[in-house]
């Protein structure tokens, strides 16, 4: 029987629902994908990218408290987050449309 996503440290029902929207339904799937690919899929499914959400996921998969990330480690995670965000663009939309979509101003395609 699959383990709920919310069983991963630092993750709750809202994150579990976001992962379900992205087609990821178990903690085992998140672990198998790893934090970078799992977070990329969240963004692709419509979750607005947010650095704290990303590093909370990374810390949780390591079994660490969400606020355990500091210094050089946090800087390195920020670089990974920025790369994930940059590689995850909404196809067929201009940058302005994508920004308006993130704000909820226009309908998602």
Q: Where are the domains of the chain?
A: 5-102
The Cα–Cα gap between 15 and 95 comes to 26
pTM: 0.80
Q: Could you report the per-residue pLDDT of 64-93, keeping only the tens digit for each?
A: 999 998 999 999 999 999 999 988 865 555
Residues with Cβ within 8 Å of residue 97, at least 6 apart in sequence: 90, 106
How far lies 5's CA from each of 52, 65, 71, 75, 98, in Å?
18, 16, 28, 26, 28
Q: Could you report the per-residue pLDDT of 1-55, keeping only the tens digit for each?
A: 899 999 999 999 999 999 999 999 999 999 999 999 999 999 999 899 999 999 9
In the block, tokens 């395609």 appear at 109
Q: What is the CA radius of gyration of the chain?
A: 14
The CATH number of 5-102, from 3.40.50.970, 1.10.150.20, 3.40.50.1400, 3.40.1360.10, is 1.10.150.20
pLDDT at position 89 is 63
pLDDT at position 73 is 95
- Residue 102's pLDDT band (cuts 50, 70, 90): low
pLDDT at position 33 is 97
């Amino acid at each position: 029987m699959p383990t709920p996503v919310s069983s991963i440290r630092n993750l709750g029902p809202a994150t579990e629902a976001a992962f379900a929207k992205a087609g990821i339904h178990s903690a085992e799937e998140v672990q198998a994908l790893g934090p970078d690919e799992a977070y990329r899929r969240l963004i692709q499914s419509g979750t607005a990218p947010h650095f704290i959400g990303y590093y909370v996921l990374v810390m949780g998969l390591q079994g660490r408290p969400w606020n355990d990330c500091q210094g050089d480690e946090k800087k390195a995670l920020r670089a990974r987050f920025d790369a994930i965000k940059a590689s995850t663009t909404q196809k067929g939309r201009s940058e302005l449309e994508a920004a308006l979509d993130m704000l909820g101003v226009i309908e998602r395609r």
